[in-house]
Amino acid sequence: MTRAVNVDAAIDHVIATSARLNAVISAIEPLVPSGTRVVFVNADDAAAVSRAYGSKVLTGAVTRSHWAQRRVS
């Protein structure tokens, strides 16, 4: 399994869900026109978040925005 997950949810929601699941985020960015791409430190964290979002996980092609570093606390 990959460490990256594309989710039909806002960045803040993905951060909160990841924190609740103790899933450590490596990188996160918005998708165009909506959604979030999140990369986790390990595949187990990605799998846990994927299960939590269920049908909101985007499986097709997505359009990524220009990446900019963002601090996640």
For the chain, give every domain's residue range. 4-60
Q: How confident is the model at residue 70 (pLDDT cuts 50, 70, 90)?
A: low
Separation of alpha carbons 19 and 14, rounded Å: 8
Give the residue ranges of DSSP H helices in the chain: 11-20, 43-53
Residue 73 reports pLDDT greater than 90 = no
Average pLDDT, the chain: 91
Q: What is the pLDDT of residue 67?
A: 65
Q: How confident is the model at residue 68 (pLDDT cuts 50, 70, 90)?
A: low
Q: What is the pLDDT of residue 47?
A: 97
Q: What is the pLDDT of residue 2?
A: 87
DSSP E strands, the chain: 4-7, 25-32, 36-40, 63-64
Strands 25-32 vs 36-40: parallel, antiparallel or unpaired: antiparallel
